Structure 1
Amino acid sequence: MFVFVLSKDKRPLSPCHQARARKLLKEGKAAVYRKYPFTIILKEEVNPSKPQPCRIKLDPGAKVTGIALIQGDRMIFGAELEHRGFRIKDSLESRRQLRRGRRGRKTRYRKPRFLNRTRPKGWLPPSLQSRVENINTWVNRLRKLCPVDSISVELVRFDTQQLENPEISGVEYQQGTLCGYEVREYLLEKYHRTCQYCGAKEVPFEIEHIVPKSKGGSDRVSNLTLSCHKCNQKKGNRSVEEFLKGKPEVLKRVKANAKKPLRDAAAVNAARWAVFNRLKASGLEVEAGSGGLTKFNRTKHELPKTHWLDAACVGKSTPSKLRMLVQKPLKIKATGHGTRQMCRTNKYGFPTRYVPHKKDVKGFQTGDIVKAVVTKGKKTGIYVGRVAVRSTGSFNISTAKGVIQGINHKYCRQIHKKDGYSYAT
């Protein structure tokens, strides 16, 4: 992976190879500026030559967003950003249940309040808004670390207009080599890459008509499902009722899934519009692509399906020959900046303990990434991970192998300040 480089006055320069970065650090011409993503800052002034611009490519997802940096025809940085939207939803749901239980115990006779509260224009649920803010945060961070002049983002996962009307015309990619990619991508997402008849996974899938075309079935997405080759051949041109006569539960599930509206696709697209508008506000050129075009580019370059490689293939700006200079992505996980809750409760909502007002303990905060070198005792060793501080000065460190408890602060050295994210390579 390439290393980000800043000038002496913190201007972003072209990223360099890690071997060159090691040489600059060894000769004392540069110093470490950030640990994640790894960035160095030069100690001497350099010629103000204009660096080669980079393009940020984004593949927003419900759980993970892929990030890629493209410089010319080279991919120089890749990352996968794991969101915390579902954890936010669970926390809000838990708080809501505790609040409702408390109101039932304390104010059971209070009259209901009139529902006169309105939501502002552009409001998103906190779980989706968190994803938008995470993406915007990392775009701004990368802009400070490398010369970015444009952004590509997968705006719509599915083209719902083409899904409803396969004969639509007037859009270039729908009439060219991408014909059918949108429908296939939607079906793979809707049915979780599973054969709807036998439940097979990780096999080549075929698009199957629930009502055969020979019996009046259409190409609408509501009449399409996923099937493995064996089930597709076995069903032939029989109706689904005839094929699944001895499996009433499977028949009921197939019909129920087929009637599901495009609500899921619309929800994903709504969040992506919020991401798109936030990126447009940055003032950079923003290119929008679709999920079908991303899959076409990835197949063309013969790349495996991962979030960060999907990001590298977003949009028409994807070069015809893409040189992959990144072996593995940086794993980024959104952890948040803590909580404002000053009183911890048990599962029934009753207070159990209180939180100290002071977050800083011995120069450390919960969430800092530290390196602890323990030289004596039962826990002798080297530990690197996120720290959870205690007022006693005895910390817990979350490492890749588990949580190490009771590490004295004297053995700890901060290598990355708390920024709301955890990292892994």
Structure 2
Amino acid sequence: MSKVFVVDLEKRPLNPVHPAQARQLLRNKKAAIFKRFPFTLILKESRPDAPIQPLRLKIDPGAKHTGIALVNDSTGEVVFAAELKHRGFAISFALTSRRQLRRGRRNRQTRYRKPRFLNRTRPDGWLAPSLQSRVENIKTWVNRLRKLTSINAISQELVRFDMQLMRNPDIQGKEYQQGTLAGYETREFLLEKWNRQCAYCGVKDVPLQIEHIYPRAKGGTNSITNLTLSCEKCNTKKGTKDIKDFFKKNSARLEKILKQAKRPLADAAAVNTTRFTLLEVLKATGFPVETGSGGLTKFNRNQQNLVKLHWLDAACVGKSTPILNIKGVKPLLITANGHGTRQSCRTDKFGFPNRHCSRTKFHFGFQTGDIVKAVVTSGKKVGGYVGRIATRATGSFNISTKNGLLQGINHKYCKHIHKKDGYSYA
């Protein structure tokens, strides 16, 4: 069962407690709600000092989703789990939209402006905003969890695929390559790259074999760019034929295979670009940082017969992974939304300004994105509602609830549950 975080009167982290114990503390008025997401209690009175069990924070970074897990190394219990959804692609789209707006405005108003020259130099270690946001999202949640729990170590999946290991099998010793992990890195990379299907006939959900595009008998190498996946039937049929001879009558399929063989993985590229920046961020916390590869993560997960989920992948990162106890764990689903926009106006689908955007963020102590509880006592909308609000200067707010959008709720009926922090939760 996912535990509830607890802090003392001085906001120092204590051992997480079972939800039933948390309910009892609230019922007996010995604690109050400190945070809603993640759910945290603050004690109203001091408790006798109890030994605090250290936890390991485990992170599985991804291009779209990052898995987070807090694991007790001594018991194997997963205390907390979360899946963080990034907004890298939204940032890329927003930057493109902004560039188009500025270019259009510049052409209309300052048609003959001289081009700029060398005023866009980038500092060392610069990352594209869509990539930097992924690092910042993880950094934010590492810092939040540090304040709520007693973390003493961090594990990070540093590489999705150990490319050095695939190029040089002896780079980490023969035991790594020739033992139970033999071929894991290469197979995982190929499964991801070729969409888990036969490259030759496209069949899925059958046992797939690693196949040399240019056969070794005719000078082909073991390089990862010369490997693909095929079903047993196609592999036997191709044999030692050259790929160009095998697809002599199907040039479209041949061109597609050769093009895909050279194409890098976009998601893997995003993870590889940010991995060492993230590693430096984690080392800056002062905790020992353990790193592992994606192949090792899958090996740990398969050894314990666990399904593939982002938070379970995180719990299985690194050699330190114990026998996990995941009974009753429900991950917190976190989505990065950002903090809005500074645009002074909204535009139509052609990019032309068509309506004003208020620069005032706060209205009556609320801002768009706050999660509130509204108890309406009169009028047509009598009842209780919980959801995210959109504010107006008139004081009439909209609330997005589970059952849909509710419009025209007066601010006097609203009470804060969780203030906007750039993330949404489920």
TM-score by structure 1 length?
A: 0.92
Query: 2 CA distance for matches of 1:3 and 1:97?
Result: 47
Alignment partner of 1:80 out of 79, 83, 87: 83
User: Does the CA-based 8 Å contact 2:399-2:409 persist in structure 1?
Assistant: yes
User: Does the CA-based 8 Å contact 1:166-1:220 persist in structure 2?
Assistant: no
Partner residue of 1:57? 58
Partner residue of 2:120? 117
Q: What letter is aligned with 2:372?
A: V
Matches within 5 A, 1:19-30: 19-30=20-31
User: Does the CA-based 8 Å contact 2:63-2:268 persist in structure 1?
Assistant: no
For residue 185 of structure 1, give the secondary structure of its aligned residue in structure 2: helix
1:157-206 C-alpha deviation (Å, 9 max, x unpaired): 12222233446563753343222111112222323334323334555443
Q: CA deviation at 1:98?
A: 1.7
Q: What letter is aligned with 2:152?
A: D
Q: Pick closer, same or farther for the CA change 1:264–1:32 going to 2, 3 Å.
A: closer
Q: What letter is aligned with 1:55?
A: R
Matches within 5 A, 1:267-278: 267-278=270-281
Partner residue of 1:358? 360
RMSD (CA atoms): 2.3
Q: CA deviation at 1:244?
A: 3.1
User: Does the CA-based 8 Å contact 2:4-2:18 persist in structure 1?
Assistant: yes
Query: 2 CA distance for matches of 1:134 and 1:264?
Result: 17
Q: Pick closer, same or farther for the CA change 1:216–1:422 going to 2, 3 Å.
A: same
Question: Which range moved further: 294-303 or 337-346?
Answer: 337-346
Query: 1 CA distance for matches of 2:34 and 2:353?
Result: 42
Question: Which range moved further: 64-73 or 336-345?
Answer: 336-345
Question: Which range moved further: 346-355 or 66-75?
Answer: 346-355
Partner residue of 2:34? 33
Q: What letter is aligned with 1:67?
A: I
Q: Pick closer, same or farther for the CA change 1:360–1:153 going to 2, 3 Å.
A: same
For residue 12 of structure 1, give the secondary structure of its aligned residue in structure 2: coil
1:191 aligns with 2:194: yes
Matches within 5 A, 1:181-220: 181-201=184-204, 203-220=206-223
1:310 aligns with 2:286: no
Alignment partner of 2:166 out of 163, 167, 170: 163
Query: 1 CA distance for matches of 2:413 and 2:288?
Result: 48
The alignment covers a number of residue pairs equal to 423
User: Does the CA-based 8 Å contact 2:61-2:271 persist in structure 1?
Assistant: no
TM-score by structure 2 length?
A: 0.92
1:10-42 C-alpha deviation (Å, 9 max, x unpaired): 110111111111111111111111111111111
For residue 140 of structure 1, give the secondary structure of its aligned residue in structure 2: helix
Q: What letter is aligned with 2:184?
A: Y
Q: What letter is aligned with 2:87?
A: R
Q: What letter is aligned with 1:366?
A: T
Query: 2 CA distance for matches of 1:232 and 1:381?
Result: 65
User: Does the CA-based 8 Å contact 1:370-1:414 persist in structure 2?
Assistant: yes
Query: 2 CA distance for matches of 1:171 and 1:109?
Result: 65
For residue 273 of structure 1, give the secondary structure of its aligned residue in structure 2: helix
Partner residue of 2:70? 69
1:143 aligns with 2:150: no
For residue 67 of structure 2, give the secondary structure of its aligned residue in structure 1: strand
Query: 1 CA distance for matches of 2:401 and 2:175?
Result: 50
Q: CA deviation at 1:317?
A: 1.0
Query: 1 CA distance for matches of 2:17 and 2:82?
Result: 17
Question: Which range moved further: 145-154 or 407-416?
Answer: 407-416
Question: Which range moved further: 348-357 or 60-69?
Answer: 348-357
Q: CA deviation at 1:262?
A: 7.6
For residue 403 of structure 1, give the secondary structure of its aligned residue in structure 2: strand
Which sections of structure 2, spanning at least 5 residues, go unmatched?
Answer: none
User: Does the CA-based 8 Å contact 1:58-1:314 persist in structure 2?
Assistant: yes
Query: 1 CA distance for matches of 2:104 and 2:152?
Result: 52
Percent of aligned pairs with the same amino acid: 63
Q: Pick closer, same or farther for the CA change 1:118–1:142 going to 2, 3 Å.
A: same
